[in-house]
Amino acid sequence: MEHGDDAGGTFRRAPHVLLTVDEVERAVSLYADRPNFVFDVETVGGNAHTNELRWIGIGAEGLVHLIPTGHPKGVVLKGKHRDKTAACLYYDSDDPRASTPTTRKLHPSQRKPSWRMVEHPVEATYEPPPKQLYPHEVMELLRPLMFSDKGKVGHNVKYDLMTVGKYLGEIPPGPYHDTLVLTHVLDEDRQSYDLKSLTADWFKVPYDKRAAWYPNIGKQGVDNFGLDEVARYLAKDIRYAWLRFQDLLGRLERKGLRPVYDFEMQVYPSIMTMETTGFPVDLSHMQEVRADLEGQIAAIEDEAWKLAGDQFPLSNLDAKRWVLFGEGVRRKNVPEPIPVYGQNKVRLKSQGLRVRSRTEKNDVAQVTSAVLEYYADRGNRMAELLKAWAEYEKLRGTFIEGITGFLNHHPQGLPTVHPSFHLHRTVTGRFSASEPNVHQLPREQKGRTSIRRLFVAGKGRRLIVADYDQIELRCAGFLSGDPEMVRVFIDGRDIHREAAVAMFQMPADEVTGELRQVGKTQNFAVLYGAGEQKIALVAGCTIQRAQELIRGYFQRFAQLEKWKYRELQLARKRGDRQNPWSDPPRVVIPPFGRLRRLPMLFELDKDYIRFHAERQAINALCQGFAAYVTKLAMVELHATLPEGATMIAQVHDEIIVLADDDVADQAEKITKDVMEGVLDPTTGKPILGTVPLVVSAATGDSWAEAKG
């Protein structure tokens, strides 16, 4: 696009850059007949709630328009380079290196200048920036486009929508399209979802050439680059997001996954509302919470040290390998492992566990979360302790040491945190969270000074915490069709108590709290794969007795085991054993048909790998289905909560609503009714058939109080 002079004088134009009202208005008119358009923002400082808009780009097929809104630099006059300057001119006069070697030790007045040429970097130079439109001006000019019924396309479009929403006064309406979520629906196991990596993979760009081919200027800070450099970078973002949108949408259609993706986009409005509102935080209880958490960490360390025979840092990887595997820790070309000693020079005791996986480089035993989980589920106490310690340390790092870094301070009222809720960081369809990761909080409160005490409603408001009761087990009952489990839920009986009844062959009114815990452990073993070792540990019995208890469980709930076997066999039939990575085994998660791909289901000769994959398969079905029940409830709540009440978080099986005092009771009833009344969108019938959804809801001044 050709441009004339602007009010700030002439300057060298960068392609597609718009600087005047007329130019932006003409650009907007070009999108009148386009059903979708892609847009992207470049910002500085903070998150989507506090950042400042520097650029916005829009585009479609054959169109790219780039609008700076306060970029501090003009186009590059001369890029960053290396030059040579005489030492006497490059260094300060009192720097000895500015003088000849023979005179450096003399008094400065007697030194002779050195004309040795010094090679050094020279920063880029830029023209003065052109006159640009202000962010609010630009957004008002784009309002007709942003508030049209056209599809808004972006990569992590949620961030861009919330950014422009600050300037427009509200978040633009859908329909939305997100190439990040598109990618995830098609490949849930990807480790990286940034546009640069995805595009480079797509075009098969060699790794050593990627930085030059598509430099990540946004991550380095757009203010550090010239207007022309940012324009080229933003144009690439626009172009590649558009091309990926076209390609991925077609692939989605061909694989029959469009309903999965379309529903995820329907969830976006509720997520953006939660993130924009934020969760009030009161730090007045911080010292109590800190002391409680650190006390629990210390108790874990003490027990681990007693098992090991001496103190050792639970963060030390070599020590963890030794206390778990001992002589099983072998390195290539090392005939015998080197024992690990504790703080008091005592050789640490090992659990003597079998190594389940090793590093490729040096054949060292791995201590991953999956390995710890595997042995914890089989009743190994050291594995349980190491796993718990890591979880509590994460809590301390996030909510004690790091919470202030997430706070948005307000002139009046309490500070707030604005967790980001993601649709792409889990493999089952559940939400994940960051900044801070509120999903790190354990499902059950630990002690009087729970971290949840820090999260409050604030003056004149109340928190409503609505929690699905045993939703994953209810999903298992529905999916398996097990008549006994279904009947327990219909009758409103306690499924954990009934599991103990089946295992111990006793009347329900004789089941103690300890026996109920055994039943609970077995119920979740159905979903998560724990074995007889775990049951033996919880029940305090032998392995043989634990096997008898498990047999009693499956004699009553007989369809559960058959259903698990049937689903695993069906998953394997959907894949190609000859090409497991291109056509993997997979389970289909209702109600939309989301896929969980598990190539390792074909590893029939490797019991640990197969066990892990089978566990993931059943877990994906129940946890994924439960996640969609929750998402369906959120979509409905977003539309039906009364004014003065809004969702602010979704954690585990809970939905948390912040409500003004005068509407809190009404909002609590609506929340409970909506969550219990979720319908299957494909049939219009109750989502779990005859299995009822049950929600426990309560209000309070803090999350801990409402959680109970």
Tell me which of 194-203, 524-533, 593-602 is least confident: 524-533
Give the tokens for residue 625.
């289905």
Structure confidence at residue 239 (pLDDT): 96
- pLDDT digits 0-9 by tens, 245-298: 999 999 999 999 999 999 999 999 999 999 999 999 999 989 999 999 999 999
Residues in the chain: 708
- pLDDT digits 0-9 by tens, 458-515: 999 999 999 999 999 999 999 999 999 999 999 999 999 999 999 999 999 999 999 9
Residue 27 has pLDDT above 90, yes or no: yes
Structure confidence at residue 650 (pLDDT): 96
Domain segments of the chain as ranges:
21-74+132-255, 81-122, 283-406, 414-472+626-707, 476-584
Structure confidence at residue 49 (pLDDT): 87
* pTM score of the predicted model: 0.90
Among residues 194, 612, 170, which one has the least CA distance to residue 371?
Answer: 612
Task: Assign 7 a pLDDT band (cuts: 50, 70, 90).
Answer: very low
Structure confidence at residue 369 (pLDDT): 86
CATH number of 283-406: 1.20.1060.10
Structure confidence at residue 367 (pLDDT): 87
With H, G, I as helix, E, B as strand and everything else as coil, classify residue 256. Answer: coil
Residue 341 has pLDDT above 90, yes or no: no
Structure confidence at residue 107 (pLDDT): 87
Structure confidence at residue 466 (pLDDT): 97
- 78-81: long-range pairs with CB below 8 Å, 24+: 78/124, 78/125, 79/124, 80/121, 80/122, 80/123, 80/124, 81/121, 81/122, 81/124
Structure confidence at residue 3 (pLDDT): 36
- pLDDT digits 0-9 by tens, 105-143: 888 888 999 999 999 999 999 999 999 999 999 999 999
Q: ∠ CA(215), CA(219), CA(221), 5° rounding?
A: 100
Report the topology of domain 21-74+132-255: Nucleotidyltransferase; domain 5 (3.30.420)
Give the tokens for residue 690.
């005859």
Average pLDDT rounded to a whole number, residues 145-169: 96
Task: Assign 8 a pLDDT band (cuts: 50, 70, 90).
Answer: very low
Task: Assign 444 a pLDDT band (cuts: 50, 70, 90).
Answer: low
What is the spatial distance between Cα 522 and Cα 537, in angstroms, rounded to a whole number?
Answer: 12
Enumerate the H helices of 81-226 as residue ranges. 87-90, 135-146, 157-168, 179-186, 195-202, 210-213, 217-220
Burial classification of residue 303, based on how many CB atoms lie within 10 Å of its CB (0-12 exposed, 13-18 middle, 19 or more buried):
middle
Percent above pLDDT 90 for the chain: 77
Tokens 């040491």 map to which residue? 401
Compare 8 and 331 and report the one with higher pLDDT: 331
* HSE value, Cβ hemisphere, 13 Å, CA-based, for 182: 24
Architecture of the domain made up of 414-472+626-707: 2-Layer Sandwich (3.30)
What is the spatial distance between Cα 58 and Cα 52, in angstroms, rounded to a whole number?
Answer: 18
Among residues 660, 564, 578, which one has the least CA distance to residue 616?
Answer: 564
- pLDDT digits 0-9 by tens, 375-391: 887 888 999 999 999 99
Distance between start and end Cα atoms, the chain: 62
Rg of the Cα atoms in the chain: 30
